[in-house]
Amino acid sequence: MTEQNEQEGIITPVALGKELNVRPQLVFSWVRAGKFPTHQCVCGHTYLLRDEIADFLTARDAKQAEKDAKVAKELEDAKSDSTEAEAKSA
């Protein structure tokens, strides 16, 4: 896939994996699960359109941010609980 194609909004599953910092196999599993459509070149290679995967990526990022916020809150709660326990024992 050339740089010109990527600028036009076309990307391969392998390039998308590199861009998202995930294994290409994960991108192919998303394709098999029907998370977004794929297209075939005349030569048989699979490619994706950035516009078609944008909603999936936005939802994925939002879900990850939600998980991160939950973990941060749990860590903060655990830290405050341990601080309260130390204060009571002192």
* CATH number of the domain where residue 80 is located: 1.10.10
Whether the model clears a pTM of 0.95, i.e. scores above it, the answer is: no
Strand order in the sheet with 39-40: 10-11, 46-49, 39-40
Residues 6+ apart with CB under 8 A from 37: 48, 49, 52
pLDDT at 5: 54
Give me the number of domains the chain comprises: 1
Structural domain range at position 8? 3-89
Top-confidence residue, 34 or 1: 34
Task: Give the model's confidence band at 83: pLDDT under 50 very low, under 70 low, under 90 confident, else very high.
Answer: confident
2-55 pLDDT per residue, tens: 555 555 789 999 999 999 999 999 999 999 999 888 999 899 998 999 988 988
pLDDT at 24: 94
